[in-house]
Amino acid sequence: MSQLQPNRSKAALNRFLPGLVGIAALSVLYWAGMNLELPGFLGKLTSPMLWRLLLQSTKETLWMVGVSVTLAVIGGLPLGVLLVTTTPGNVTESPLVYKVLTTVVNIGRSIPFIILLVAIIPFTRLVVGTSIGTTAAIVPLTVAAIPFVARIVESALKDVDKGVVEAAQAMGASPWQIIIKVLLPEALPTLVLGVTITAVNLIGYSAMAGAVGGGGLGDLAIRYGYQRFRGDVMLMTVVVLVLLVEVVQSLGDWAAETLNKK
Amino acid sequence: MIEIKNLTKVFTSNGNKIVALDDVSLTIKKGEIYGIIGLSGAGKSTLIRCINMLEKPDQGQIFIGGKEITALSGRQLRKERSKIGMIFQHFNLLSSRTVAGNVAFPLEIAGTPKAQIKERVNELLYLVGLADKANMYPAQLSGGQKQRVGIARALANNPEVLLCDEATSALDPQTTKSILALLQDINKRLGLTIVLITHEMEVVKEICDSVAVIDNGKIVENGPLVNVFAHPRTEAARRFIKGVIQIDLPEEVKEYHLRQVDDSKSAVIARLSFIGTSAGEPVVSSLVRHFDVDANILAGNIDHLKDVPFGTLVVELRAKNGGLDKALKYLAERGIEIEVFNDEPTSA
Ligand SMILES: Nc1ncnc2c1ncn2[C@@H]1O[C@H](COP(=O)(O)OP(=O)(O)OP(=O)(O)O)[C@@H](O)[C@H]1O
Ligand SMILES: [Mg+2]
């Protein structure tokens, strides 16, 4: 193991290199904007005004995505577990529960996000007291992500070696113990990858949150970059989004690989 | 210890009924190593999985230590299961846990206190010879080491019964030997009853006290290992035994010599089976000395069934003046099994 260590840290560096380079480049631009007055397009890219907008929107995106991913995992995980354990031949089999759950999940997943966003406005108002703003956008994002997470959890748990589950049963494990001590730990690396996919998807979905005044990077790109023909804003939002996805994905990959003992 | 009564299990797949177990009855004594051998699809796994109710039988009963396990369900069944160890062909270890974590698993399941778990895990890893691998993950172990972890895990809750489902089938012959030695050691030291299913006669021959042959869901033959080896009554049993010891006359020997034997009064070709102590005695030479008989050895081998020496010799005996009957009687008196080939020259 110990001989592998240098290789490992080298591999980790390689994995995070694009993200680190991107962050460094943005930091240089930010510093330049705060300290220098550059001419032409470079001046536009380093304008303090643009950076204030970018920082604000990035924060909004991170907030929306962070909270909705967390809530979606909290909601989707038990649902996904149930989808697995209620299938015939499984620890708490129940065809009826499975049928109901799978139908609900399918319906949830088939509604286009932009429609869901508008359709559940009354529900959003009920939950957070308002239907516009960043926090209000979290509700539809979460609702959209729960069935997605549920399916991801389902497929991750189904991948767990049947023999291992059987061994646990043979040792007298209860259904609950099998879920907590076998299925989830064994599926953890896959689950982490699944959560990463969810987060990346939600970064994309959150761009539509502007429709309910949610703000965020996507909203910035549409309002300034598209509607006001501000190429500099458009460019920088896209760069930040790309970087965000890059960082989230490489973190997720790294975590999954570290957790995977297979 | 284990009493299986009229066990029947029928699978239905795609509308077809498959009778995996057909009225199986067996008695497995406390402290013995019981082998169940059969071809692929014979129903071995189904049978052993019924013993801890991983598979629910359609009919019949199973008693373990007097308790009817087939009558249990839910919490009671889980409690009984924790007293039955099981090891698997593909080990079925948790890949996310270390060696120590895997061995600790059944103890956690049973609600053993943390400090006690640690102690017991160390003890078990020492027992299976993996004390230095405690913090490794299964992926870093060889097949034999994985099976040792499986064994340690199966023994964690001090079971009285250990079920082995093709426990050595994924291992090379050398590793198989060492795992079998470990099982035998455990059997002796802990007085554990071991049920072992396999399709390899080598395994049965090596460590089993008793054996049952299962064919098409039916037990066609069973009893003490030596008996089944010495008197296989069914084709299924003969097929397996043939794999490890030569019980049939080689074709060319048969053709040549049987042609020479014209009169079965004065000459026979016989297979002599020596079991136990008689395998060490110079029976043939004393036969020749005591009777007016010529013995021509055509084929032979000596083997061990568990700890019992087991030898077979194919001999051609020629005698004048009707001495043959007496000679054969002499052999029989010394506890030697005799099978005369002349009578059924086409037997294969
Ligand atoms: N879950 C199942 N559904 C349908 N049929 C099954 C099932 N399990 C086993 N069978 C059938 O029952 C019969 C006995 O299977 P079993 O697994 O007990 O055989 P086996 O003796 O263990 O074979 P092998 O040496 O290949 O493991 C086979 O015909 C098999 O196809
Ligand atoms: Mg099998």
Q: What is the DSSP string of B194-229?
A: EEEEES-HHHHHHH-SEEEEEETTEEEEEEEHHHHH
pTM attached to this predicted model: 0.84
Query: Quick one: how far is CA A86 from the chain centroid?
Result: 27
- Evaluate whether B199 touches B296 at the Cβ level (below 8 Å): no
Tokens representing B232 are 């296989």
Bridge-partner residues for B86, per DSSP? B163
Q: How many angstroms away from the CA of A189 is the closest CA of chain B?
A: 9
Q: Fold for A49-259, please state it.
A: MetI-like fold (1.10.3720)
* Mean pLDDT, residues B57-71 taken together: 90
Query: Quick one: how far is CA B94 from the chain centroid?
Result: 28
Helix, strand or coil for residue B103?
helix
Give the Cα separation of A78 and A149 in Å (integer). 10
Phi-psi region of A37 (alpha: psi -120 to 50; beta: other; left: phi over 0): beta
With a threshold of 0.95, tell me whether the complex ipTM lies above it. Answer: no
A161 touches chain B (CB under 8 A): yes
Residue B214 Cα: closest atom of ligand 1: 21
CATH class of B251-340: alpha beta
Q: Which of residues 173-212 of A touch B (CB under 8 A)?
A: 173-174, 177, 181-182, 185-186, 188
Q: Give the number of residues written for chain B.
A: 348
Within 8 A of A163 by CB-CB distance, chain B residues are: 88, 90, 92
Tokens representing B250 are 């080689």
Helix (H) or strand (E) holding A90: none
The confidence score (pLDDT) of residue A2 equals: 44
Q: Return the domain boundaries, chain A.
A: 49-259
H helical segments located in chain B: 44-51, 74-81, 99-109, 114-127, 143-155, 173-190, 201-207, 225-230, 235-244, 251-260, 283-290, 323-333
Say if residue A162 is exposed, middle or buried (CB neighbours under 10 Å; 0-12, 13-18, 19+).
Answer: exposed
* Mean pLDDT, residues B105-120 taken together: 93
* Mean pLDDT, residues B8-25 taken together: 90
Q: Return the domain boundaries, chain B.
A: 2-241, 251-340
Would you give per-residue pLDDT tens digits along chain A (262 residues)? Answer: 444 556 777 877 888 888 889 989 888 888 888 888 888 877 887 888 888 888 999 999 999 999 999 999 999 999 999 999 898 877 778 889 999 999 999 998 899 888 888 888 899 999 988 888 888 899 999 999 999 999 999 999 999 999 999 999 999 999 999 999 999 999 999 999 999 999 999 998 888 877 777 888 888 888 887 788 777 888 888 899 999 999 999 999 999 999 998 8
- Evaluate whether B195 touches B36 at the Cβ level (below 8 Å): yes
* The one-letter amino acid at B240: F
- Evaluate whether A77 touches A219 at the Cβ level (below 8 Å): no
Tokens 């070696």 found at: A161
Q: For residue range B186-242, what is the model confidence (pLDDT) as tens digits? A: 999 989 999 999 988 888 888 999 999 999 999 999 989 888 887 788 888 888 887
CATH of domain B2-241: 3.40.50.300
The confidence score (pLDDT) of residue B15 equals: 86
Whether B95 sits inside 8 A of A188 (CB atoms) is: no
Give the Cα separation of B265 and B259 in Å (integer). 15
Whether B92 sits inside 8 A of A163 (CB atoms) is: yes
Give the Cα separation of B155 and B185 in Å (integer). 13
Q: How far is the CA of A250 from the centre of ligand 1 (A)?
A: 44
* The one-letter amino acid at A46: T
CB-nearest to A170 from B54, B75, B96 is B54
For residue B214, the ligand closest to its alpha carbon is 1
Q: For residue range B252-292, what is the model confidence (pLDDT) as tens digits? A: 766 666 666 665 567 778 888 777 766 556 777 777 887 77
The confidence score (pLDDT) of residue B96 equals: 94
CA nearest to B276, candidates B336, B317, B325: B336
B18 lines ligand 1 (CB under 6 A): yes
Residue B246 clears pLDDT 70, i.e. is over it:
no
